[in-house]
Amino acid sequence: MRGSIFATGANSSFQGNNYTSELQAKGLASPNELKRIYDINPAIGGPILRNRLWFFGSMRWQESTFNYAGAFQNKNLGDPTKWNYEPDLSAPGEDIKKMTPTASIRLTAQATPRNKFGFSFEPQSRYWQTASANKSVLFETQGEA
């Protein structure tokens, strides 16, 4: 049996800032801001039956979330009596990209000394939420890759 793990991540503490009073005076209400980014990927593999059947499996958790510069959610979102955009300065526009936890498995069987057969399975689902300063709604999409 062998295994490994890869993990990395960061948050706003790892990010520099060039948001100056000059940019603020020109109307930029807030800078881009990294909220969180991470990727965690453990894996393990080895023989099931000596010289006949092997497995390899892994999992993955991944996310990238940040706030757009000058983008805020709409105070009027969901209010059918208002059709105009009004920024909610307490709620920055977030961009979220997440890969929901995924797992993969691969089996390899050796039928003869010269022939191997493999089977693998890896479902993936992703979640995107995007916002920008000129939208009056918040768009969310989900998809399978």
Cβ atoms of 117 and 52 closer than 8 Å: no
* pLDDT for the residue 80: 86
The domain spans of the chain are 2-144
Q: What is the pLDDT of residues 75-103, one digit of tens each?
A: 887 788 888 888 888 888 778 787 778 89
pLDDT of 130 reads: 65
114 Cβ neighbours under 8 A, 6+ residues apart: none
pLDDT for residue 139: 47
pTM of the predicted model as reported, rounded to 2 decimal places:
0.67
Q: What is the residue type of 39?
A: D
% of the chain residues with pLDDT over 90: 32
When pLDDT is cut at 50, 70 and 90, the band that residue 141 belongs to is: very low
